[in-house]
Amino acid sequence: MNTVLILALIHLVSVASPGPDFAMVTKNSLTASRRAGFLTATGITLGIAVHLTYSFLGIGVLVANSVVAFNIIKYLGAAYLIYIGLKSIFSKNKETDTNLSQKVDKTQVKNDAYYFRLGLITNLLNPKAAVYFVSLFSQFIKPDSSFIMNSVMAIMILTITFSWFTFVAYVLSNEIIKAKFTEFKSYIAKAFGILLVGLGLKIALEHK
């Protein structure tokens, strides 16, 4: 139980720290909608599930210790963040909230998939994720750890991830908060675009 609680605290601090995932949820919650924030959080959580799976299987060790694999993920992740950032910087806000609310269901489904995909890809292409989970589990998972214990830790990590990011999305998409930012919506999108480009460049220039 002590091990689980310590792991929970470490992971909570990790997901609450500013980074690509946090920036993406914040951007989508403020400039789009609560639904967009929740879907982004869901995509991030699924990405974490993928990292957990390959870490448990031992593949994460290979990725974390392979310079080539690490750099491939690093540059793909950096390019993706820069791409999304540039789209936000140069986007033109041609549609009003009223127009958005009148879109047909088919378009809504397309938007849902878009925000879910943003969260998933942003998390999967974070090169530090493999290193993070390998180093984390090396401290808490032993050769004789039971399947039940491993499952409890995995579920706990996924629950913390989803709970934190949906909380962030819920708070930032509050009508009162969004009302204060409405007239600056395009500026906020561009500001987060610059932030994402900066994060992408930071990741690309970091050495393993």
Q: How confident is the model at residue 135 (pLDDT cuts 50, 70, 90)?
A: confident
If phi > 0 it is left, if psi is from -120 to 50 it is alpha, else beta; for residue 91 that is beta
Is-contact 132 55, C-beta < 8 A? no
Q: Which tens digits make up the pLDDT trace of 40-92?
A: 999 999 999 998 888 777 766 666 677 777 788 778 878 877 888 888 788 76
Tally the residues of the chain: 208
DSSP assignments along 62-115, one per residue: HHHH-HHHHHHHHHHHHHHHHHHHHHHHH------HHHHHT--HHHHHHHHHHH
Amino acid, single-letter form, for residue 10: I
Q: Find the mean pLDDT for residues 6-11.
A: 86
- pLDDT over threshold 90, residue 121: yes
- pLDDT over threshold 80, residue 152: yes
- pLDDT over threshold 60, residue 187: yes
35: Cβ–Cβ under 8 A, 6 or more apart, which residues? 112, 115
CA–CA–CA angle 131, 136, 142 (5° rounding): 120
Q: What is the pLDDT of residue 102?
A: 44
Domain chopping of the chain, boundaries: 2-7+21-205
Q: What is the pLDDT of residue 91?
A: 73
Q: What is the spatial distance between Cα 133 and Cα 48, in angstroms, rounded to a whole number? A: 9
Instruction: Provide the token pair at 10.
Output: 């470490």
Instruction: Provide the token pair at 65.
Output: 């210790």
Q: Computed over its alpha carbons, how large is the radius of gyration of the chain?
A: 18
Q: Find the mean pLDDT for residues 10-35.
A: 89
Q: Find the mean pLDDT for residues 151-161.
A: 91
Instruction: Provide the token pair at 187.
Output: 């500026």
Q: Kindly provide the b/e burial profile for residues 110-145, where b requires at least 16 CB atoms within 10 angstroms of the residue's own CB.
A: ebeeebbebbbbbbbbbbbbbbbbbebbeeebeeee
Q: What is the pLDDT of residue 208?
A: 58
Q: pTM of the prediction?
A: 0.76
87: Cβ–Cβ under 8 A, 6 or more apart, which residues? 193
Q: What is the pLDDT of residue 70?
A: 74
- pLDDT over threshold 90, residue 108: no
Q: Find the mean pLDDT for residues 111-135.
A: 87
